[in-house]
């Protein structure tokens, strides 16, 4: 059975959940082989998790190069040459998309970006959710070893034991010039679940009114074990940091439950959340477009409704 390369996404010795989703998705196409690129010692911390999620092989490329993304690109390029994989799977993120594009253009492989499902067969097939979920499209690769970026949260993880045989890979010299990383300031996630991984998201918009009042959104989110999101207007007004923006130019989320507080529901916001299973909206304007897609809408003041909801949830939990 052909190997399917899965680029492992990790920060500071911890695997991101999307990598396990990719290992699950890979099984539809062949035998999952994890690819770990990072400083010396990285693979040791990750291998148990990778084995427990079905990695038959673990390619280990340890390097302390400061070249930006080029080690990942050249390792995948050389593995495509040596093992002719059925596909290369990479999680959707800014870095993931860039690595995927560069690998595809170098190896003349199909680039299937931002997919929500993969399938095997004569040709590798994928499912896209486009224009913020307004369309579902099926696409296929016309080349060998397509490079596919998969949206986090779109595959249900199914753990299964894998042999996890480690094999070390040399990081070849970069072809072409690379940018160098001079320093990094990673965002530390805090205690809440990651936005794209959370099963419940509570978002606030301009209606929340201030950065201080976002504590209300956070409080409700914490009572539900939820991630916090924000509209672009809330981000642009400085109420909440940019990485929490939901929408066309922010994150795409598709949780079981999405609660929108003081968000009008502009088309660009909806593009990032309208595939949520259940949507609840609180807005004092009865005409707000968010109500068009809300399963349960409340025309009212979020400063009255949200605290009461939080209390009710606390009551039911105790």
Ligand X SMILES: Cc1cc2nc3c(=O)[nH]c(=O)nc-3n(C[C@H](O)[C@H](O)[C@H](O)COP(=O)(O)OP(=O)(O)OC[C@H]3O[C@@H](n4cnc5c(N)ncnc54)[C@H](O)[C@@H]3O)c2cc1C
**Residue 192 in marked binding region:** no
* Site residue total, ligand X (CB under 6 A): 28
| Among 54, 91, 113, 162, interactor with another protein by CB under 8 A | 113
Strands 87-91 and 147-150: parallel
Q: Choose the stretch contacting ligand X; rule: CB under 6 A; options: 1-9, 13-21, 185-193, 261-269.
A: 261-269
Which of the residues 166 through 195 are near another protein (CB under 8 A)?
175-187
Residue 228 near which of another protein, ligand X, none (CB within 5-8 Å, type-dependent):
none
Positive or negative torsion for Cα 250, 255, 261, 267: positive
Contact between 269 and ligand X by CB under 6 A: the answer reads: yes
Evaluate whether 308 touches 261 at the Cβ level (below 8 Å).
no
Evaluate whether 80 touches 90 at the Cβ level (below 8 Å).
no
Q: At what angle do helices 42-52 and 17-26 cross, to 10 degrees?
A: 50
**Residue 203 in marked binding region:** no
Contact between 157 and another protein by CB under 8 A: the answer reads: no
3-state secondary structure of 304: helix
Contact between 247 and ligand X by CB under 6 A: the answer reads: yes
311 CB contacts (<8 Å, ≥6 apart)? none
Q: What does the chain come to in residues?
A: 318
* Site residue total, another protein (CB under 8 A): 91
279 CB contacts (<8 Å, ≥6 apart)? 258, 259, 260, 273, 290, 293, 294, 295, 296
For residues 56 and 245, which CB has a smaller minimum distance to another protein in the complex?
245
**Residue 268 in marked binding region:** yes
| Among 28, 52, 268, 293, interactor with ligand X by CB under 6 A | 268
**Sites of contact with ligand X (CB under 6 A):** 205-207, 231-234, 245-250, 262-264, 266, 268-269, 272, 282-285, 288, 301-303
């Amino acid at each position: 059975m052909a190997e399917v390369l899965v680029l492992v996404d990790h920060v500071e010795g911890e695997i991101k959940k999307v990598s396990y989703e990719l290992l699950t998705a890979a099984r539809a196409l062949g035998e999952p082989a994890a690819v770990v690129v990072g400083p010396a010692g990285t693979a040791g911390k990750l291998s148990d998790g990778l084995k427990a999620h079905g990695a038959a092989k673990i390619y280990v490329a340890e390097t302390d190069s400061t070249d930006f993304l080029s080690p990942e690109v050249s390792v995948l390029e050389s593995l495509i040459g040596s093992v002719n994989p059925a596909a290369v799977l990479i999680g959707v993120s800014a870095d993931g998309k860039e690595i995927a594009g560069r690998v595809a253009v170098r190896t003349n492989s199909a680039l299937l970006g931002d997919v929500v499902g993969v399938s095997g067969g004569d040709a590798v097939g994928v499912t896209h959710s486009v224009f913020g979920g307004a369309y579902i499209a099926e696409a296929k690769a016309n080349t060998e070893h397509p490079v596919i970026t998969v949206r986090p949260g779109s595959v249900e993880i199914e753990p299964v034991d894998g042999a996890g045989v480690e094999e070390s890979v040399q990081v070849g010299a970069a072809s072409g010039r690379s940018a160098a990383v001079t320093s990094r300031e990673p965002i530390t996630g805090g205690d809440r679940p990651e936005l794209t991984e959370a099963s419940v998201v509570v978002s606030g918009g301009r209606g929340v009114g201030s950065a201080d009042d976002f504590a209300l959104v956070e409080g409700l989110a914490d009572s539900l074990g939820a991630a916090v999101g924000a509209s672009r207007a809330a981000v642009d007004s400085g109420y909440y940091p940019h990485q929490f923006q939901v929408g066309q130019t922010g994150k795409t989320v598709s949780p079981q439950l999405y609660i929108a507080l003081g968000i009008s529901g502009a088309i660009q916001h909806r593009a990032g959340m309208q595939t949520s299973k259940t949507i609840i909206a609180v807005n004092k304007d009865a005409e707000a477009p968010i109500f068009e897609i809300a399963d349960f809408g409340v025309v009212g003041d979020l400063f009255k409704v949200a605290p009461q909801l939080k209390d009710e949830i606390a009551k039911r939990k105790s």
